[in-house]
Amino acid sequence: MADSYIILGACYGDEGKGKLTDELMDQISDSIETPLVTRFNGGANAGHTVKHGDKTYYTHLIPSGILTEKALCFIGNGVVVSLVALEREINDLNEGGIVTDNRIFISDRAHVTFLIHCLLDQLMNESIGTTKQGIGNTYADKMNRIGLTIGDLLKDNYENKLRRLYGHYEALIDDYLIRKMRQKLVETHSLPSDFTVDNLYENEAAKNSFIDVFEIADRDGYLRINFEFKNEKNEVEKIDRLDSLFSRDLLLIENFRRKWKDSIVNGFSFMKSHMKSRMIIEGANAIMLDIDCGTYPYVTSSNCGIGGVLTGLSLSLKVMSKFKVIGVFKSYITRVGGGCLPTEQDNEIGEMMQTLGHEFGVTTKRKRRCGWLDLVQLKYSCQVNGYDYLNITKLDILNAFEQIKVCTAYKSKYDVLIEDFPSDEDRLKEVTPMYVTFDGWKDFDISKCTNWKDLHANIRNFIKFIEAYTNVPIKYINTGQEKGAMIIRDV
C-alpha cells in the first residue's frame, strides 16, 4: 500500500475527488503519524462534496482531509486565497462539528483574492463560464506582478499595497461605470445614441447641465458598483461604492492578520519538513480546465495537473516516487459553463443524467452539461498526468439506461479519424464522436457490492474496456456517496 497519493480530476471537474481523499485519509491515518493533506492550485472556485457520517460537508479552499481529525492541512503557494471565503468555510466547518484550530497552514507565497477581484469578474460579465469568484483576476495580478501575497498581509505596509492595487483598477472601473451611465441615460432620458460626457454641454436634447445629469445618474444608481457577495456569516452583503469596498477588504486583512498570523509559513520549508509524513495532495478543478493543457480559452487560470503539483507546492521531481497518482472520473461526462463537450447529450438522456446525478455545481449551483463517457479525452488525461490508478464514480447513475455508449474515437468534418485529443477548441467543435455501445445494468443495485465479483457482469466488462483503452487500471470503484462505499481492487 502506498504511503502518499496525488488525487487529480481526470476530466472537467466535479468527478468526486473529495470522496476519494476522505477514503484514503483513513488509510494513511491508521498509524501514530500525523498525515498531511494539501492543496496546490485554484481557489474558492473549487467545490468538493464529502459525505462524512450522517453529515455532508462542502469544501472550497480547505483540503477535504480536514474532516479527518488528526490530519494537518496545507494551502500551497499555487492557490489563490479569498479571505472572506476562507473565513466563511471555517465557520461552516466549525458549525458542522469539525475542529480547525491549529490544523491549517498557508504558504506565505500564496496570492490573495480580494473583493475587488470578484467585482471585476461581475462587471466584465465573462462568457466563458467562470464562477465569478475573482480567480482569473487574482492570477492575472500574480502574472503582472501587482498582486498581494499572504506574506504581504503580515507586513506593516499592507494598507499601502492594497491601495496601490485598487489604484491600478480604479480607472478601469470608472470607465465601465461611465459607459454604463451613458447607456442608461440614452435609454431612459431620451438622449441621442451619440451622447457622450464630453459633448454634453453641446447637446440640446439633454436639457440638463453637466452636474444635473450626474445627479440623475447617481440618484438612479448608474455610478454605483452594486456589488453583492456572501460575507463571513454566509449572508448577502451589498456595497455600492468603491471606497466602501476598499474599507471592507481592509477589514478582512485586519481580521486575517489577527487570526492567522501564527499559521502562515514558508511553503518550501513546511513541505520539506513534512516529506517523511504520509501525505495526500488534492487537486482542484481538473486537467481539461488546466490553463496550459485544457480546452483553452474555456479553462480556469491555474495548472490543475501534475505540473501544477510541482510548482504549487515547491516540490522537485525527485520526490514524486513517494506518490501514487490517481485520476478520478465519472462513468459519464459533465461540464459546467462554456466550451466544447463532444459527447454532450442535449436531450432526454442528458437530462436524466443531470437529474439522477444531481449535477449542479457546488460553488455556483449551475446545471452541469452531461454526456456519454469520452475515452479520447480520458486517454489524453492519462497520458498527460501519468496516472498509476483510476477511480470511477457514479456508476449507479447509469442504472437508468438499457444501453450505454462510450466514445472511442473522433472523426473530423473531412471524415478523417482523429487519434489524439485536439488542442484547438475550433477543431474540437467540428469533430463527430464515434461510439461503442454496451449492454447496461438497468436497475442493478451497486450499493450492495463490496468486491469486484459482486458487480454486475456488464459493469465489469465496461470497466475492463476502459482499462484496456487507457492502459491504466481502475483500482477504486465508487458504489455510493456514503463513507466506505467503495470497492478497492488489488491491481
DSSP state of 484: T
C-alpha cell at 299: 479553462
Count of other CB atoms within 10 angstroms of residue 141? 24
- Of all helices (H) and strands (E), which one includes residue 96? none
Q: Is 282 left (phi over 0), alpha (psi -120 to 50) or beta?
A: beta
Distance of alpha carbon 159 from alpha carbon 152, whole angstroms: 10
Residue 174's pLDDT is 81
Q: What does the domain layout of the chain look like in residue ranges?
A: 4-108+266-488, 112-262
CATH fold of the domain at 112-262: Adenylosuccinate Synthetase, subunit A; domain 2 (1.10.300)
Which segments of 26-109 are extended strands (E)?
Answer: 36-39, 48-52, 55-59, 72-75, 80-82, 104-107
Measure the CA angle with vertex 180, ends 178 and 181; round to 5°: 60
Count of other CB atoms within 10 angstroms of residue 479? 20
Residue 62's pLDDT is 94
Q: Which CATH class is domain 4-108+266-488?
A: alpha beta
Distance of alpha carbon 368 from alpha carbon 333, whole angstroms: 9
Q: What global pTM score does this model have?
A: 0.90
Residue 209's pLDDT is 44
| Active site residue ranges | 14, 48
Residue 210's pLDDT is 45
Measure the CA angle with vertex 384, ends 28 and 406; round to 5°: 95
Q: Report the chain (491 residues): mean pLDDT per 10 consecutive residues.
A: 87 93 86 88 84 81 90 97 96 93 97 96 67 89 97 97 95 80 66 57 49 54 78 92 94 97 97 94 96 95 96 95 97 94 96 93 78 98 98 96 97 92 93 97 95 98 98 97 93 92
Distance of alpha carbon 140 from alpha carbon 129, whole angstroms: 17
Whether the ω angle into residue 297 lies within 30 degrees of 0, i.e. cis, is yes
Q: Is the dihedral of CA 252, 255, 261, 263 positive or negative?
A: negative
**Which backbone phi and psi does 415 adopt, to 5 degrees?**
65, 30
Residue 419's pLDDT is 84
